[in-house]
Structure formats: C-alpha cells, structure tokens
Structure 1
C-alpha cells in the first residue's frame, strides 16, 4: 500500500527590490572626474578673467568646440568597434573645399554644394572601410595614409588656397551664424548628432553588435554578426559626419578651407574620445563621456587663448591629456607594463 505524499505548498516570494543607483553612481567615475576637471577649469579661468564665464564667451567656446565634437562623437563609434580614423581632419578639408567650389561653380544654390560635400565624405569613408576590411590593412595605418592623401587632395582641388565665397547665401549664413532658441545652429547640429548616435549605441541591436565587435570580434563573428559590413558602414558614417563638419567650417569662415581650421582636428577628436572613457582596444565607451571631454578641451583651449598663452602650449596640453587618458585606462584595466613581467 502506497501512501500519497503531498509536496508542501509553494510560497510566493516577492522579488527582491532592485537597488537604486544614486545619480552620482549612474554618472560613473570617469564622467564625474571629467565634470570635476571642467568645474576646476571654468573656476580657474573665471577668476583670472571676469569675462570668461560670460554668456557670449561660453557661446564662443561652444561654437569653437562644435567641429571637434562632431568628429569626436563618430570617433567614439569607430573606437568602440575596435577601429580608429586618423584621417578625419583631412576629410573635413576635402568637404569644405568641395562644398564651396561646387556652390560657386554651379550657381544653383548652396544645397548642391552641400550634397556634393556629403557625397565626397561618404565616398572617402567607404574607401577607408574597404581598404581596411578587404585590403586587410590595420586601421591606424590605413587612415594615417588617408590623413596625408586627403590633405593633398584638398590642396590639389583648391590649389592650396581658400576657395569660393558663401556668405551671400542665406543657408550658409544661417548654418554658420544663425541661432535657434538662443543657441548657435552649429551647436544644435552637434546636439542632434550626439543624441542620434547615443540612441544608436544604447538602444538598438546595431549598437549592441558594435560593442560586441570591439569587445571580442571572434565571438561576434561566431554569433553571426557580419563584421565586414559593420566596419565599412561605420567608416562611411564617419565620412558623412566629417563632411557635415566641413560644410560648417565653410559656413563659419565664408569659404572652402583646404587645411586652415581642419588641421589637428583628428588629434582633438581622438583625445576627447579617450578622455571620455573609450577603450582604444574597443568594446567600451559612450557619447556622454566624449561630450564632457569635448567641453573640457574647449574650455581649456579658450581659457589659454584668453590668457594669451602661446598656441604651441595648447598642442602640448592636448598631447599630455591623450597620454594621461591612455595611462589611466591601462591602470584601470590592469594592463601589464610593456617589457616588464608584472
């Protein structure tokens, strides 16, 4: 005779409440450090110069940082997926020259020149991606070659001189000098671009795949992610945004600039991305930290300029910040020192 056994009734257990993260913890240590550094820089130069913190000067800082910000945002994307683009400054020069020269030559309106510039940027970006993916060239080497080649292309197209005059066109004037709700149009373009890229990276499968490619490309490939297509698309994106930056450079200066205004932007963009928390090996980073780093670099550069510090020292400061950012990353990741056993 068997005796029926009854299992004890199941007890409904309420899930443990999720621990709420404080706003400071949500920001992260990297971003908090950048905010602290930005506050120190603003306070220091604000004490040294009464007009430094004025609304008009802060708008100057924002406008001057726009081109760097646009390039740094898309540089963040390419670094996250394990790449790098050193040629972005030269791409800006090509787009600036193309936008002004096509506008002047056709006489058919500013949109024609802008579309031509974006098309040129897209073509350059795709070329970079194809060379890296199908030519199997290291991204640093490929875009280093592009840095020289595209700079030469911009100078060949323009004969080494500023080209065209666009300040008699309403759209160019609006982009370069207009305001919406009190903020320069250029700043709004940066904000829209940054928000779009943040949404792409944070809330879409594309963004998750980009992080996966940068984190472990072998695992990403085994998971069915078409890495080659992603890489070409990312470099195409950076080419298009560099073209937009070139158009804004033309609108701001009034003519196509083959070198002036774009030279050195690649270093600023990479420095901002690294300071913002992007791991140069890929798989880590975000738009928020990059924008904070752009603001820090812009405030520092403007403050040094206001104080009459030689611009050569600004280059020294940028280089030192880039090295410092990489050193901090290495320490946080526990990377072994080169050539040492521990």
Structure 2
C-alpha cells in the first residue's frame, strides 16, 4: 500500500484497507491500529508535503483449486485533516485474478480498463507498476528495468510515484525509461521470499488529441545483474471518448437488471449471483462508491440520494471482467 501527501500542508488522519473476505491476513510491515473483520486501519500524523509512506502486507489464499480463475478485491480509503486539495484520489480499488502459479516479474496498468481491450477515457492517466523477484539461487546486486513507453504516451508527463528500494532513472531517446536499483542486495526467493521482491510505480498521461480506439501497449525488460532480460507481460489500454456499455454482462443466460433508471437516488441491482464488486463513478470518471457483493446475494442497492442530479456510471465486476452501465439520478 502506498499513500502520499501531494499537497502543501502537513496532513493527519486514517488510512484503511478492506480486503477480500476470502483472504487470510498474515503480516503488515506497519502494525494496523485497528483490525475489525476484514478491514485494517492505520492512523497517521503530520504527513509532510511530498512525503510518501509504504505498507507491505501479506495474505494467504485458501488452498482451494476451485478458486483458480476467481477474482479478489481490495478497497482502500484515506481520510485527512482539513487542507487536502486532492480529495478525488483518496480511494482506490484493486482487482486480481487467482491463479495456480504466477510469474513474479510482471507489469500492471491502472486503470486496467474495460474488457480485454482495456477501454479507458481520453486524457486519463495510466499508472504502471512493474514487479520483480529474484528467483535465482544467489543475491542480486543490481536490478535494471528498461521500459520503452508507447509512442501514444507523453514522456514529458512521466512521474515516479513509488518504489520498494532506492532507485534512479534516466530517460533516453524519445521514450525509453531506465530504472536502476544499484546495490539492492536482493536475496533469492529460497532464502527470503518476502525480501526477494521489489517494484517501481510511475504515472504517465496520453498524448493530446488521440483518435478514438487508439491502442496503448507496454512491456518491460528486467535485468538481474548480468543475466539476460526477463520480459514482463504486455499491458493493453484503448482510449475512447465513451466507455462501452453492456446490457447482459454475465452471459446469455444470466441477466443483471438495474432499476428504476432514472431514479431519484435509490437504485436496485437484481439477479447478481455472478457479481463480485460494484463501483460507481461520476461523469469525470471519479470514484463515488465501492461495495463488495457477498456470494449468493440476489439483489443490492446503489444509494445516490446524497449526490447531485446527473449521469453516473456503474462498473459491475464479474470475475476478471467488468461492464459499465449508465444510470441517471433525477
């Protein structure tokens, strides 16, 4: 978990994470001040302007092969003292798919976007996270990541957000970012599985004036000392003016119904046996709410009674896929 004061005055408050109920909490690098159910809460005091804090957590996934392919979610929220100028980015949601085995050296884009094409709106920032792990049999003294940014992204908007260890970076040519972890002394995964891992996270904006359906892909190369590079997976996002909407996201034999629509504020979602998470966004793609659905529930409520009249979007997650519905509050 990473939180940062992007403002100009010190802030104090609480930071909470609600993790998927299927997970079993194990450890936290900073002990939570409160642990209630599946929600962890930390208090923070006098977070200085520009200060960045990291919390490393570990969870166990139940040893159940039936969970492979299922999705798990985590929802984070930070509250602050008066003076926060960036209230819109005080929440975040993470979705990951449970697999039977995984490549610890990977790359993820946030937002992941909708469908396997990763549809997102024009002018939306992408945050990339590159994870690495020393799976060799000896200590790695240096890790280098070479990331060739897609030509449709604006290299001048590059912003380093966080890293697990001290890192330096250089930008060469028109779009090549090189991250260098010198003297990282990364132990191998057999000696210390937790300490053998690391990451770097950065954000970048798209080039202005992109055409609809402009595709942005990205792959990184990770070098451990003098070994050949390990290539990550390739992320994909597609920029559009309007997000695709669906009327039958769960499949031809399963229907999700949101009613009434329009509404004065209270919406109902019925027949959501396959739904795992519901998120609500305003027309500027800013998150309004997020709620985890308990398996077996038939219906849920979306309460917008305290919000202004207008158009909102509901993102409904089914396992690793999501669909968007447009709702209107009168």
Q: Shorter chain as normaliser: what TM range?
A: under 0.3
The structure with the largest helix share of the pair is 1
Computing the radius of gyration from Cα coordinates, the structure with the larger value is 1
State the TM-score, normalized to the length of structure 2: 0.25
The structure with the largest strand share of the pair is 2
State the TM-score, normalized to the length of structure 1: 0.24
